[in-house]
Structure 1
Amino acid sequence: MTKLIEIRNLGIAYGGQTGWTDVVEGVYLEIARGEAFGLVGESGCGKSTVAYRLLGYGAANSRVQTGEVLFEGVDLLKLDARSLAKLRGNRIALVPQNPTTALSPGMRVGQQIREMIQTHQALPDGVSMERRIADLFALVGLPDVSRRYPHELSGGQQQRVTIAMAVSCNPDLLVLDEPTTGLDVTTQRQIIQLLSDLRSRIGMAMLYVTHDLALLAQIADRIGVMYAGQLVEVAPCDQLLSRPAHPYSRGLIGSIPTVLHGHSPGRGLRGMLRRDQMAEGCKFEPRCDFATAICRSTPQVLIPVADAQSVACMRWPDVTDAPDPKPLAPENLRPDREAAQLLSVANLSLSYARSGWFTQLLGKAPIPIARDIDLELRAGEIVALVGESGSGKSTIARAISGRLAPKSGTISVDGKVLDPTLAGRSVQQLRQIQYIFQNPDASLNPRRSVRAILERPMQHFEIESTSERLETALENVGLHAGYLNRYPEQLSGGERQRVAIARALLVNPKLLICDEILSALDVSVQTKIVELLMALKEQHSVAMLFISHDLAVVRQLADRVAVLYRGELMQLIDTDALFNSPLHPYTEMLLGAAPSLSRDDYIPTPPAMPDSPSIAGRGCPLAGRCPRQVGALCAESRPPTQVTQSGFVRCHIPLDELANGAADSGDPRATQVPGLSPLLHLQLRG
């Protein structure tokens, strides 16, 4: 295959008050036409820095020390701004990690795609601009949302808009920087299928930057593993995932949580990436289980060790011959059933006002988002709220935190009904509930140092702020005291999220609302944060509403799971019971979409994303998409609530049939997990 991109000896440094620091060193990389190349590594390893150089982008305080970036033989590092502008969006396109900051908040999303097409590409004869834009939205599983502004879309919907914009001109190379971190598993699979189809149809190559190896297993041809700015292994996808040759690759794979086991302590990496503790030789030596004295003083370079596989490790034969780390059964301590009730949400219904003076003049009704939500959390309990993008998860969290006044219903903490808005709540009530946002770029003040960001809530709630307390807070989330004087722009996406988590924990809340807080973190940091959250739960009885699309993390962390679809709770059930037998057809769909480390033949079904209303007016919201639909009954009649021992299920199908259907589905993720009590012996009652 012909080379499309070739990186030769790339070296990049960042400047600061103490001089220049090398962040990327001696990277060699090739991507052929039509090839999907995955680039993985922990947060801060330099993978996004390399990716953005393919578009000629670099931070203001960065400089290229050495090397070339050749696109069809032309060195992109030597092109002027005008030449780069012709390539960007047309020949080389970008899907950024954070759609909130990538999309212009003052422009409708249709106009933003229109600008891209008008700048770079003429439309075929007979195809109108409106039709082309509508087709692009359909391509990424959205209705025609041309008239909406970014803030009127969920985070997952915004990301699909950026993907539609990136592929609008059929680029030769698509650079994807963590493009699916904010998306649910079914939407992730839809996007992966979309990208695969684009590759086969137009021969588009991809550089896919991510920490999600399970997702890469479904699309990548080859994978490059980065550590501390260097490539330590490059291999075909299947070969790397089944037989890694570098200790770091092995540790990454061992750290990946699974739907069956969640995070298994002791399987993967130990320690954290600390550039201030690097050895003169192998940079991974301080964390390596295979290191010897010579590793500390001998630099390692990529050498071929097998067909199309290269590794930077002199101990690679010992690594490949070592037995695989065995997953451990999850150890999740369930909360005391008699613990005091902390949060109560009763009959909560939410809606958004329609925008624009004309629609308000016509008296258009608000857009419904969620209805009849009943939810309770006990002290020390973690309830996961799962569902596809746009289902209303974050909206419910906003209402609980006081950022959105409900249309109806009540929210109580410690038996006291809360005022619907932040302005009406006491200082003590504000301290009790802390919100960790999905997007740290929007929640961290770019003009304040990390120290000032951490001190602000402590000053607001009159808590003594000491350097020791701040340093401990950072260490708890895998950072060190050196970060206190940095600014958000000097941190990677994962490092920013860790600062946001540390800020929320500093005020000792009773309830944490965690809105996709792990989606931007690599697996080793995820494990550390999960352990931290579990410690808070067990030692301080902190309750958490944990919003996530990562079912493997939910498997390890949550006590109960609430399944939300288009604004309605479909199921509430104990975590163990859900993963033994999901019962509800929609829960089965979510579990079936969870990727594994081997390529599968899963075929995604597009999620229902209607323009309006956001929730069904009658019938089951899953009607029309449900694989077990009962004729017109599901479409015409709202499903009844069937009570189980650990929660409820909303479905027309009787409980015994739902349980038998899950057991007979043939999906290994719907069968009994070894070491756990079976669900089917539970006494189900209607």
Structure 2
Amino acid sequence: MTKLIAVDNLSIAYAGPAGWTNVVEGVSFDIARGEAFGLVGESGSGKSTVAYRLLGYQTPGSRVQTGRVLFDGTDLLQLDAPSLAALRGRRIAFVPQNPTTALSPGMRIGSQIREMISAHRALADDVAMDDRLRELFGLVGLPDVGRRYPHELSGGQQQRVTIAMAVACNPDLLVLDEPTTGLDVTTQRQIVGLLSALRRRIGMAMLYVTHDLALLAQIADRVGVMYAGRLVETAGCETLLSRPLHPYSRGLIASIPTIRHATLGATGLKGVLSRDQMPDGCKFQPRCDAAVEACRSAPQSLRNVDAGHAVACMRWNELAPPAPPPRLGKVPDGAGSATGNLLSLQDLTLSYARPGWLKTLFGGEEKITAREIEIELNAGEIVALVGESGSGKSTIARAISGRLAPLSGSICLSGEQLEPGLSRRSREQLRQIQYIFQNPDASLNPRRRVRAILERPLDHFGIDFDAAALENALESVGLHANYLERFPEQLSGGERQRVAIARALLVKPQLLICDEILSALDVSVQAKIVELLASLKAQHAVAMLFISHDLAVVRQLADRVAVLYLGELMQVSRTDALFSSPWHPYTEMLLRAAPDLRRDDYRPMPPAMPQSVAVQGKGCALAGRCPRQVDDRCAQSRPPVQRMADGFIRCHIPSAQLMAAAG
């Protein structure tokens, strides 16, 4: 295949207090026309820095030390600003990680895409532009959303809009920087399926930057593994995932749980990427179990070991073959086992509208976000709440924590009914429920040192403490006392999340609400946080409501799982039973969408209905989307709750029939 873009010996440095520091060193790879190349590695490995150079972007305080980026024979690093502007969007396009910040909140979707097309293509008239917009929306599986604003779309829909904008001019190369981070599993597969279809239809090449190797397996032809600014291995995607040769590649792959192999503690990697401790030789040496003394001083560069397979390791052929995937396991029973009812939600119905407001204004029923939720959580138990984006998971968490007053129903903690709002709850009740947010960047005060961040809740609740208590709290989450004097910006993403967990644990809560706390972390850090949560459960009998879209982590960590769809609980079951026999059709759809480390023939399910009949109190929430829909009952009447030995399902199909279908 003909090379479209070639990165040749690229080295990039950033300015710092001690002068210029190399963050990318000697990176070389190429991408052929129509090929998908994946770039993977932990946070801080230099993936995004390389990706942005393929668009000719240069951040302030950085410079290219050596190298070229040749696009169709032209060095992008030598082009002036007007020449780069002419290429971007027309021949090289970009899909960002966060569509919320990429789309202008004050412009309608159609206007934003029109503006981009007009900058690069001349269409005959407004009719031709309207036709092109409708074509683009259809291409990415959206209705005509041109008149809507970004905030009126879900995260998955916003990401589809950014893809539509990126491919509007049929580019030759599409650069994607973590385009599915934070999206639920079905939306992730829809996006990947969409990109594969666009690649076949338009013939564009792709650079796909991600830390999700299981998802990358579904789209990439070849993969490059980066560590500390260097490429340490390149190979075909299937070859790399089945036969990794570099110790770092092996550890990275071993850190990935799947719903078939979700084993606690199989992290495969020790330590963290720390650039201030890099030796002159192999950068991975401080974390490598296979390292010898020569690794510290002898720099390693990529060498071909097989057709299309290169590795930067002097000992690659001396290492034992990679171990097979570990046997399925989960949190061991022990001190943290359930010991009595702690939290009880009964007939909980939630809405963000004021009672009577929507009904008065529109003459209809309130727009319900979650309806008749029943969940019980025992002391020392981990219950996972799973479902697609918009299903109401975080809404339920907000109600439990007192940030959203229910329309009806009750929330009881240790047998005592909680007041609906924070202001009416006692200080003791507030202490017993602690919330850990998805994004530690937003939940930690950037102007306060870690010491002050940890002291604040202790002062608020009037708890006596000393320096040893703060140090012990950090040690319990795997950090040392030196972190007390650091600011959040001096910590990695995983370290910031550990500080957030330590802050929540300091006041000795009975319940932790963990709201997507792993979604923005790379796989090796995720593995360490999961291990930490499991140890907290075992040592302190802390109960957790664990909200996640990562079903592999859920299988690894949770005792029970509650499956939520458009505000309705579809199934509640013991974890092992749910994953081995997903009786409810929606549960089965979710598990089918979870990617493995091998490419599969998964066909994305249709997206959720914009307005569920169940939201209006009629029919099943899954009606119109369910692969087993039987007759008009599904759309006309709410399905009954069928109690099981370890939970319940909500479905018109009798449980015996569902059990038989599950095998």
* TM-score normalised by L of structure 1: 0.88
Per-residue deviation, residues 502-525 of structure 1 (Å, max 9, x unmatched): 544444432222222212222211
Q: Distance in 2 between matches of 1:614 and 1:162?
A: 30
| Structure 2 equivalent of residue 219 of structure 1 | 219
- 2:42 matches 1:23: no
1:246 aligned partner: 246
Residue matched to 2:332: 333
* 1:120 positional shift: 3.5
> In the alignment, is residue 425 of structure 1 matched against residue 444 of structure 2?
no
Cα distance, 1:4 vs structure 2: 2.2
* 1:272 paired residue number: 272
Residue aligning to 2:558: 558
Relative distance call for 1:548 and 1:331 in structure 2 (3 A) is: closer
1:524 equivalent in structure 2 = 524
Counterparts in 2 of 1:359 and 1:105: CA distance versus 1, 3 Å: farther
1:263-319 CA distance string (max 9 Å, x none)? 342462223222233222111112222211211211101111110111100111123
> 1:125-204 counterparts in 2 under 5 A?
127=127, 129=129, 132-133=132-133, 135-204=135-204
TM-fit CA distance, 1:163 = 3.0
Aligned to 2:370: 370
Residues 320-353 of structure 1 deviation map (CA, whole Å, 9 limit, x = unaligned): x525245033042358886232222221222234
Distance 1:85 1:496, change over 3 A: farther
**Do the aligned partners of residues 96 and 144 (structure 1) sit closer, same or farther apart at CA in structure 2, a change above 3 Å counting?**
same
Aligned to 2:639: 639
Residue 235 of structure 1 is matched in structure 2 by 235
Q: Does 1:294 align with 2:303?
A: no
Q: Is the 8 A contact 2:258 2:552 kept in 1?
A: yes
Matched residues in 1 for 2:411 and 2:535: separation? 27
Structure 1 residues 200 and 80, CA gap change in structure 2 (3 angstroms): same
Asked whether the equivalents of residues 6 and 71 of structure 2 are also in contact (C-alpha less than 8 Å), the reply is yes
Shifted more, 10-19 versus 564-573: the winner is 10-19
Q: C-alpha distance in 1, partners of 2:338/2:474?
A: 34
Q: Assess, with a 3 A threshold, how the Cα gap between structure 1 residues 67 and 459 changes in structure 2: closer, same or farther.
A: farther
- What amino acid sits opposite 1:102 in the alignment? A
Stretch moving more, 198-207 or 48-57: 48-57
Residues in 2 aligned to 1:148 and 1:293: alpha-carbon distance in whole angstroms: 61
Taking structure 1 as reference, are residues 310 and 471 closer, same or farther at Cα in structure 2, changes over 3 Å only? farther
1:352 and 1:366 in contact (8 A); partners too: no
User: What is the alpha-carbon distance in structure 1 between the residues aligned to residue 133 and residue 498 of structure 2?
Assistant: 37
Give 1:682's aligned residue: none
In structure 1, how many angstroms separate the alpha carbons of the residues matched to 2:638 and 2:591?
Answer: 24
The whole-number CA distance in structure 2 between the counterparts of 1:507 and 1:18 is: 40
TM-score, with structure 2 as normaliser: 0.90
Q: Is the 8 A contact 2:330 2:555 kept in 1?
A: no
Aligned length: 660
Matched, 1:593 2:583: no
Code of the residue aligned with 1:328 in structure 2: it is: R
Q: Report Cα offsets for 1:597-624 as digits up to 9, x if no partner.
A: 1111111122223157783642112122
Alignment of 1:480-519 (within 5 A): 497-519=497-519
| SS of match in other structure, 2:44 | coil
Give the 3-state SS of the residue equivalent to 1:253 in structure 2: helix
Question: Where do 1:344-423 residues align within 5 Å?
Answer: 344-353=344-353, 366-423=366-423
1:373–1:542 CA distance, 2 compared to 1 (3 A): same
* Structure 1, 423-432 or 247-256: larger mean CA deviation: 423-432
Q: Which residue in the other structure is 1:324 paired with?
A: 323
- Distance, in Å, in 1 between the alignment partners of 2:222 and 2:426 is 54
User: Counterpart in 2 of 1:669?
Assistant: none
Deviation at 1:28, TM superposition (A): 1.2
Q: Which range moved further: 504-513 or 367-376?
A: 504-513
Shift of 1:27: 1.1
| Equivalent position SS for 1:368 | coil
Alpha-carbon RMSD: 3.1
The match for 2:438 is 438
Tell me if structure 1 keeps the 8 A contact 2:583–2:659: yes
C-alpha separation between the residues in 2 aligned to 1:378 and 1:147?
A: 47
Partner of 1:684: none
Partner of 1:43: 43
Matched residue SS, 2:536: helix
Q: How far 1:627 moved relative to its partner?
A: 1.7
Query: What is the identity, as a one-letter code, of the residue corresponding to 2:571?
Result: Q
Structure 2 CA distance for partners of 1:424 and 1:172, relative to 1, 3 Å: farther
Residues of 2 paired with 1:231 and 1:3: CA distance?
19
Structure 1 unpaired stretches of 5+: 664-686
The SS at the match of 2:552 is helix
Structure 2 CA distance for partners of 1:634 and 1:138, relative to 1, 3 Å = same
SS in 2 for 1:352: coil
2:649 aligned partner: 649
Contact map agreement 2:264 2:531 (CA 8 A) in 1:
no
Aligned mates of 2:453, 2:477 — CA distance in 1: 15
Distance change (3 Å), C-alpha of 1:137 and 1:474:
farther
Measured in 1, the distance between the counterparts of 2:113 and 2:204 equals 19
Pairwise CA distance, 1:145: 4.4
For residues 477 and 8 of structure 1, what CA distance do their matches in structure 2 show? 42
Stretch of structure 1 that moved more, 495-504 or 463-472: 463-472
In 1: Cα distance, 2:441 partner to 2:158 partner: 15
**CA–CA distance in structure 2, aligned partners of residues 309 and 277 of structure 1:** 29
